Each structure stands twice: as structure tokens, then as C-alpha cells.
Amino acid sequence: MGATIAEKILARASGKAQVRPGELVWAVPDLTVGHDRNYPRYRERMKAIGVEAIAQPQKFMVTIDHTPYSDDVKTIETRAWMRKDIAAQRVGRFFDLGRHGISHNIPVDHGLVKPGMLVITSDTRSPALGCAGALSIALGAGFLTVLVTGKAWLRVPATIRVTITGTPGAGVLSRDIGEWVAQQIGASRADYRVIEFAGDTVERFGMDERHTLCNAMVDIGVKSAIVPADENTERYCNRFAGEGGIQRVHSDHDAQFEAQLELDVSRLEPQVSRPPSPENVCPVGSVRGQKIDQAFVGTCIGGKLEDLRAAAGVLRGRKIHPSVRLLVIPATHAIYEQALREGLMQVFAEAGAQVAVGACGPCFGVLAPLGKGETSIATATRNEPGRMGADSATIFLANAATVAASAVRGVISDPREFLGRG
Amino acid sequence: MSDKMRGRAWKFGDGVLNDGGIMDFEMVRKGVFDPDVLGRYCLAAVSPDFAKNALPGDIVVAGCDFGRGQLHDQGPLSIKARGVGLIAESVTRAFFRLAISSGLIMIPFAPEIKGRINEGDQLDVDFRSGRIENLTTGETIRAQPMAEFLWEFIDAGGEKNWLQQHYSAQARR
């Protein structure tokens, strides 16, 4: 009987000829990822249980993303300690301020994630790295076990294959497709599963769009999501020659998928996620006219070049509504550099947007959080109460063009009304 | 670690969020890990009555997809700190992982349990065998317990303690 991509990667990583869904394995990751919030915490816990050295530190990358703008004394001192500790532990890569960025995006910027890899992280949204044909699994507190032992206990997940076909109309971005697909699959089917994507829509997608698609699956409880490696993946890998070989892993013809779904997105319109969950989508028309106080383009799922280009496309030559604040945060420093080269940052500045770089920002309730009773429309990851500041703030999620259009009008607006003009 | 509990059932619906449901996101943002604080605010956003009145040994009886959202420890840690057990029709993958790491006593997959337990029923639960005795209705329910492999972490009091037992400098000697 054949195997799926996830089963093949987990079999290799656990030194077995084959593994089956439901089996518990100890797997050795190829890449591990930490950040400024969790690195100090895990090191403290290691100390508390009497373990000094990080196992396999050369595979470990650490970045600053939750607190790059913190002026809190404790954070500053923790970071000073962290720099020394990272050097002493011989951690493979450290992305300090000025090279920093969101942990779920940095591995793509630097070609650290490759097809066929097993990536293990602590932070929730790393399944986004399935964009490169890798299996990326987030453990939360269990990441401590990886730092101590160099391996993780994992239950082999069943795989659902989701084929996406069709080309949607103007104003629709990968964000809309991702959240709508998540809604169609649903949490009851997706929980604990791996979603493996196929279909012409996905084949046309570049790394940014694939990253969004995999990232959106996190909210329906997947263990991971993966886009099989193809020519686009190879082009991405070739930009980082010398960073290791490309291993194209594909599901066998007789692999066992728990379910197979086919979804046609050709009639999809721009979507808006109503609180409290991202897959709670409706067409933008259903919430059009809703007044907003704040708009935010950024985060691991909505601060990539695809998103910045779309937002700038709407904002070019326009001003943000006087009663609205717009915050734009490119997800990483590398994305920021490219946005500068393309003139996107100038568009944001001239439109009246506040700009920061490489931070989770309001998606972690910091930098420019929401006050009581305020309403935001954002490209952020989640919209449960309190996610971006006050518990009583209301968060709508949408693609970057919709967020930008809403920032201009002061109310939730359809981005298609802005296309083809100016 | 005790794997049996006897107490009052507190019922919750489907899809209770982890952040913003089991635990206020502000606690996550602030990085609060103090069990006393987490225990006090456990599930307060969903049921102020529970937060005020739940006693150690009581049992949270939840619907499907308990603990939706991000991989933040504070939710499961707060349930453990409160000293209550958990029976759910299903928990999310993220919550499951966190709960095992936290050493939370639970029966995470007990389909249709909500229809067989009423708010306020007295329960006697053996989490290791999956036997749930509803003392109020007299019904005994047999649910699927957690795999033996995972009890290693629960018995140790969580994954961190398990690591300490097996990997600390002392343990390696």
C-alpha cells in the first residue's frame, strides 16, 4: 500500500520503512524554529529540570518577532541574555533586530525550509511552511521535548487531499481562497489531519500564496498542510543554491487519503471573516458599510509581498480616511527590503499609514492595539475577543486589498470598486 | 497522580475557544504561568459561575472541538490548576497536545457525552479506564481512555516533569 507525503516524511524522520495513521512515533526534525517569546521560556524550563545543552542546535533558528519594539526593561534584559545564550549554545541561525521577522516567514526568506523536510516549532502557525513541500508541525509546550531530546513524539496523521480548481475574479487573493477553503473543509473534518493540496489553482500559486493557503488551515485544527513540490518550489529552492538538496516527496498513486475534496473557486468573491473565527467567512457585500476605527495589513498570513502589493494597489494616490488609522507591517525585514525596492512603502507613507517591520504587532495585542469598543479590519490571523487589544473590540479579517479599501472609505468596502482606477 | 475524580459536572457547549474562552488572551500576552492566577480565571469568559464556584474534583463536560485556536499553554494549565477534570466530546488537536504537555487529566474523545450528563450531575470518573459513573442518573458510561503511552506524561505531572525524570543531569547519572 502506498504512502502520503506526510507518512513518507514521518517514516524517514523516525527511521522506519513506513508508518500508518494513528501510529505514535519519535521523529527527528530537520529544522526547528523559535522566537523571542518562547526561546527564553524554554531555556528557563530546561534550567529548571537540570538540562543545560540544546539538542541539535545547528538545526535551530531563532528570530525576534513578538517584541521587536518593546521598551520594557525586562524584555530588553532578556534579549541581551538571549543573544549570549544563543551564541553559547551554538544555535544555527539567529535573526537579530534589523534582520528579524516573523518566525513563520523567515524560513522562506532564507531558503531554510525545503521540500521533504520535517519542521518542528512551538508557535501555532508554522504549518504555513508546508508551502515549500515540507511537513511543518507546531507543538506548543511540547517543543521543550525537542530542545531536550532532539526529537518529538508525534501521532501519524491521516491525510485529506483537497483539489482546488478555477481562477477567481478580480479582488480575490489567496487569503480569500484559504479562508473559504477552510470553511468548506470544516474543523470537524480537518482536526488532527494533514491537508494535502492539488489542482490548477494551487499549481499557479507562488510561495506567498501557498504560504497563505497552508496558514489558513491552522484555524480548522489541522496538524499541518502541504503543497507538493513542483516547478515553482524548485524555482524557490534554486534561489538558495548551496543550502542543501531538493527532495521532491509525493504521495503514491495508491496512497490512502481519508477523504478527497474538490473545490471550485472560479465564482469566489472577496471574503470577510466575522468574529470570532477566521473561517467564519461571508462575501464582503454582507458586511459592507460597517464602520471601522483601525485597519491593519501585516502578520504571518497577511504581511507578505502579495499582501503589500495588493494594499499598495488600492492606496496608490489615495489618502486614508481621517477617522481611521492604518498600520502596515511587512512580515520580515527581507519582505520590507523588497517592498522598498518596489516603491510600496512610499505608497503607504503618502497614504498616511503607520509603518513598522517584522513584528506580529496587534495580532499579539501590541504596538497599536485596539481600545474598548473599537472595530478593526485586518489581514491578521485570528479574531477572537481580546486578540488585538481590548476584549470588547471587534475584529473583522479580510484580504489586504479589502483592508486598504476599507481604510480609505472608513467603512468595510469592496476592493473591486477600487480596481482599474488611478 | 490520581486518575480518579468525584464531583459536580459543569457543562459547556461546542467550540469553546482556548484564548478568549478558557483563558483571557491578556494572560497569554503577559506570559502569566502562575497556577493560582490561571486557576482563578479558568473559563471565566464562558462561565463566570464556574470561575466563581467550581471545586477541585469537579468535572468540565464539554462538547466538540474544545480548546479551539492557538497553541497557548495557559488554557489547559488553568484547568489543571483549578484541580478539575475534563471530559469532552472532542478536543482540538492543538488543545490535546497542550493538555498532554500540561499533564491534564482528561477523557478527550467521548462522543455524545453531553446528552448523558446534565448540568450539576454528580460524577465519579476513572480517567485511566474511561469509566464514567453518573451518580445522579445511575448510568455508567464507558468512554475511550487516553493511550497508555500518553499516561507516561500525565503520571509524571506533565511533559516537563517527564523530561526531568528521564533527561536531567541527575537522571542520566
- CATH number assigned to the domain comprising residue B47: 3.20.19.10
Supply B123's cell numbers: 460524577
According to DSSP, the residues that pair with A397 across neighbouring strands are: A273, A378
Burial of B173 (C-beta count, 10 Å sphere; 0-12/13-18/19+): exposed
Sole residue written with cell 479562508: A179
Q: Do the bridges between strand A375-378 and strand A394-398 make them parallel or antiparallel, or are there none, so unpaired? A: parallel
Question: Quick check: A141 and B29 CB within 8 A?
Answer: no
Tell which wins on pLDDT, A39 or A248: A39
Chain B nearest CA to A360, separation (Å):
12
Domain that holds residue B38: 4-172
Cell of B142: 464507558
pLDDT of residue A243: 58
Which residues pair with residue B10 across a beta bridge? B60
What whole-number distance in Å separates Cα of residue A349 and Cα of residue A402? 18
CB contact B97 to A (< 8 Å): yes
C-alpha cell at A351: 497614504
- What are the mean pLDDT values of chain B's consecutive 10-residue runs (173 residues total)? 91 94 92 94 96 97 93 95 96 94 96 95 98 98 94 95 91 73
Rg (CA), chain B: 15
Domain count for chain B: 1
Q: Which residue type, as a one-letter code, is found at position A264?
A: D
CB within 8 Å: B163 and A140:
no
Q: Which domains does chain A have, with CATH numbers?
A: 5-263 (3.30.499.10), 271-417 (3.30.499.10)
Alpha-carbon gap: A192 to the closest alpha carbon of chain B (Å): 5
Cβ–Cβ contact B104 with A under 8 A: no
- The answer to whether A191 contacts B167, with C-beta atoms less than 8 Å apart, is no
Give the whole-angstrom CA distance, residue A67 versus residue A275. Answer: 26
C-alpha–C-alpha distance, residues A299 and A308, integer Å: 11
Q: Which residue, chain included where needed, has cell 478593526?
A: A376
Mean pLDDT in residue range A240-269: 89
Residue identified by cell 469566489 is A268
By Cβ distance, the residue of B64, B72, B168 closest to A51 is: B168
B13 touches chain A (CB under 8 A): no
Name the pLDDT band for A43 (thresholds 50, 70, 90): very high
Task: List phi, psi (to 5°) of A342.
Answer: -85, 0
How does pLDDT run across A335-394, given as a tens digit for each residue?
Answer: 999 999 999 999 999 999 999 999 999 999 888 889 999 999 999 999 998 899 999 999
| Angle at the Cα of A60 from the Cα atoms of A247 and A23, rounded to 5 degrees | 60
pLDDT at position A242, please? 67
Number of A:B CB contacts under 8 A?
Answer: 117
Give pLDDT, residue A1: 82
CA B5 to CA B88: how far, in whole Å?
15
Yes or no, beta carbons of B21 and A48 under 8 Å apart: no
Expressed in percent and rounded to 5, the helix, strand and coil fractions of chain B are: 35, 20, 45
What is the CB neighbour count within 10 angstroms for residue A321? Answer: 19
Q: What tens digit of pLDDT does each residue of B50-78 get? A: 999 999 999 999 999 999 988 899 999 99
Q: What's the pLDDT score for residue A246?
A: 64
Contact A154, A27 (CB under 8 A): yes
Got the DSSP string for A65-125? -SSTT---HHHHHHHHHHHHHHHHTT-SEEE-TTS-B-TTTHHHHTT---TT-EEEESSTT
Burial profile A344-378: b = 16 or more Cβ within 10 angstroms, e = fewer: bbebbeebbbbbbbbbbbbbbbbbbbbeeebbbbb
Shortest Cα distance, chain A CAs vs residue B47, angstroms: 15
- Type of residue at A116: G
Question: Searching chain A, which residue's CA lies closest to the CA of residue B94?
Answer: A221
* Identity of the amino acid at A372: K
pLDDT in tens, A257-267: 999 999 999 99
Contacts of B34 in chain A (CB under 8 A): none
Give residue-wise pLDDT tens across range A311-327.
Answer: 999 999 999 999 999 99
* CB-based contact B161 A49, cutoff 8 Å: yes
Residues of chain B positioned with their CB less than 8 A from the CB of A50: 164, 168-171
Question: From CA A242, how far away is CA A235, in angstroms rounded?
Answer: 14
Please state, in angstroms and rounded to a whole number, the distance separating the CA atoms of residues A51 and A149: 10
Residues of B in contact with A139 (CB under 8 A): 71, 97, 101
**Is the separation of the CB atoms in A65 and A35 below 8 Å?**
yes
Residue A422: pLDDT band (50, 70, 90) is very low
Contact A187 B15 (CB under 8 A): yes
ipTM of the complex: 0.86
